[in-house]
Amino acid sequence: MPATRSAVDPSLDLFAEIARLKRERKAVILAHYYQDPDIQDIADHLGDSLELAKRARDAKDADVILFCGVHFMAETAKIVNPGKTVVIPDLEAGCSLAEQCPADQLRAWKQRHPEHYVVMYINCSAATKAESDIICTSSNAERVIRAVPEGRPILFGPDKNLGAFLIKKIGRKMDLWPGACMVHETFSSQKIAALKAKHPDAKFIAHPECEDHVLQLADFVGSTSKLLEFVQKDAGRKYIVGTETGILHTMHKAAPDKQLIPVPYEDRTAACQGCNACPHMKKNTLEKIYLALRDLQPRIEMAEDVRRRALVPLERMLALG
Ligand code: 13P
Ligand code: SF4
């Protein structure tokens, strides 16, 4: 790493410096809804995993894509738009789901099930994507599964909770990889039920990365952008929001007259073992964004053969619309 990780001068106006560097670098800033409010506010485009993948693919006029999210998202940007310099504020911003399904383990699973079609959630590495037949996100998973040829058995990973939700919803059998999101699996159904009893006029809305006992309590289940849309369009006034806390910022802005209650989670023993904030998403800061634009580091790079193989299942997904 070059000498770019030095402390940032605290007297700098980071908002002004980031805006200046963004112009100079011809950069586009993409941010996920789980980013801190300040980061969401400086983004050119905010979105869920699918929307951000499309924004990255369509970033024709930019030279640089600064991806404020986690590593697999920035990697996806590089896979679909390899001609751009893709930078991420913190290279260590990972994802428990991506970590739990390395490519060699997926390859071994496929070898045990050679007749299966492999559907992988976008929360996985480029190398794991390269082993897949098609990618899905929480926005389009239902459509992707329905597009798998009838009669073809399916391996689905890495999220067993999203997989179980889809099996229930679509009624199609799938073999599931045993991965889970470290944030969504801390949500407590007992505490949610107690909160619902305290606020009988509130609807509980949840991301499909939550466990089944939590989803059973939900009035609506959807990706981050679908949850946002639901709060905007629904006639209700109060919502318990069953996903990572970052989205509350944009929800408040989009629906200022609605009351939003963050999801209650299990308290674990060690600090931050039970939390509705993703520690990976929260690694990104304005300081690191400034440094990433200044130094064009850390960059997302990958072997070209891996990129090409990972592009195939991503393009199959994107072709579904
Ligand atoms: P979506 O924004 O695509 O719903 O994904 C949620 C998530 O956990 C991203 O890591
Ligand atoms: Fe991964 Fe969960 Fe964090 Fe999303 S919220 S990036 S799935 S660990």
* Confidence class for position 275, pLDDT limits 50, 70, 90: confident
Ligand 1 mean position to 205 CA, how many Å?
14
Per-residue pLDDT, 299:
98
Does residue 76 have its Cβ closer than 6 Å to ligand 1? no
Closest atom, ligand 2, to C-alpha of 159: 7
Q: What is the dihedral of CA 279, 281, 283, 285, to 10 degrees?
A: -140
Residue 261 above 50 pLDDT? yes
Residue 212 has pLDDT above 70, yes or no: yes
277 lines ligand 2 (CB under 6 A): no
Residue whose entry in the numeric block shows the structure tokens 């499309």? 54
Q: 231 and 288 share a domain?
A: no
Asked if 314 and 174 sit in the same domain, the reply is yes
Answer whether 182 contacts ligand 2 (Cβ < 6 A): yes
Q: What is the pLDDT of residue 270?
A: 47
- Please list, in sequence order, all residues whose beta carbon lies within 8 angstroms of the beta carbon of residue 258, skipping any fewer than 6 positions away: 231, 236, 237, 238, 239, 251
DSSP codes of every residue in 190-212: HHHHHHHHH-TTEEEEE-TTS-H
Residue 214 has pLDDT above 60, yes or no: yes
What pLDDT sits at residue 265? 74
**What percent of the chain has a predicted confidence (pLDDT) above 70?**
95
Model confidence at 6, in pLDDT bands (50, 70, 90)?
A: low
- Rounded CA separation 275/184 (Å): 9
DSSP one-letter string for 268-317: -SSTTSS-SS-TTGGG--HHHHHHHHHH--SBP---HHHHHHHHHHHHHH
SS3 per residue for 41-100: HHCCEEECHHHHHHHHHCCCCCCEEEEECCHHHHHHHHHHCCCCEEECCCCCCCCHHHHC
Q: Is cis: bond before 82, omega within 30 of 0? A: no
Confidence (pLDDT) at 118: 98
Q: Residue 268 has which token pair?
A: 């674990």
Q: How far away, in angstroms, is 310 Cα from ligand 1 center?
A: 19
Same domain as 190, residue 154: no
Q: Is 221 helix (H, G, I), strand (E, B) or coil?
A: strand
Q: Are residue 267 and residue 294 in the same domain, yes or no?
A: no
Q: Closest-lying ligand to the alpha carbon of 181?
A: 2
Angle at 241 between CA 270 and CA 244, to 5 degrees: 45
Q: Report the nearest atom of ligand 1 relative to the CA of 95.
A: 10
- Based on the structure, what is the number of domains in the chain? 3
pLDDT tens, position by position, 67-111: 999 999 999 999 999 999 999 999 999 999 999 999 999 999 999
Does 235 share its domain with 287? no
Pseudo-torsion of CA 101, 106, 109, 111, nearest 10°? -170
Statement to judge: residues 136 and 59 lie in one domain: no
The closest-lying atom of ligand 2 relative to the alpha carbon of residue 279 is: 3
- Domain residues for 210? 184-272
Q: Are residues 82 and 11 in the same domain?
A: yes
Which of 132-136, 198-202, 274-278 is the least confident region?
274-278
> What is the atom index within ligand 2 of the atom nearest the CA of 280?
3
Q: Does residue 71's CB lie within 6 angstroms of at least one atom of ligand 2?
A: no
What is the structure's pLDDT at 274? 52
Ligand 1 atom nearest to 97, measured from its CA: 10
CATH of the domain at 24: 3.40.50.10800
Residues 6+ apart with CB under 8 A from 60: none
Beta-bridge partners for 176: 156
- Report which bound ligand comes closest to the CA of 187: 2
User: For residues 199 and 201, what is the distance between their CA atoms, to the nearest angstrom?
Assistant: 5
Residues 11 and 159 in one domain: no
Q: Is 183 a pocket residue for ligand 2 (Cβ < 6 Å)?
A: yes
- Cα separation of 186 and 242, whole Å? 11
Q: List, in sequence order, the alpha helices (H) in 102-211.
A: 103-112, 126-129, 141-146, 160-170, 189-198
Rounded Cα distance, 268 and 246, in Å: 21
Instruction: Look at ligand 2, atom 7, and give the residue with the nearest C-alpha.
Output: 181
Ligand nearest to the backbone CA of 280 = 2
Q: What is the best residue among 34, 71, 144, 166 to mutate for testing ligand 1's pocket, by most ligand atoms within 8 Å of CB?
A: 34
Using a pLDDT cut of 90, give the percent of the chain over it: 93
- How does residue 114 score in pLDDT terms, banded at 50, 70 and 90? very high
Using the mean position of ligand 1's atoms as its centre, give its distance from the Cα of residue 82 in Å. Answer: 23
The protein residue with its alpha carbon nearest to ligand 2, atom 1, reads 95
- Residue 154 tokens, joined: 């399916």
- Which strand (E) or helix (H) includes residue 32? strand 27-32
Domain identity same for 25 and 58: yes
pLDDT category, 2, cuts 50, 70, 90? very low
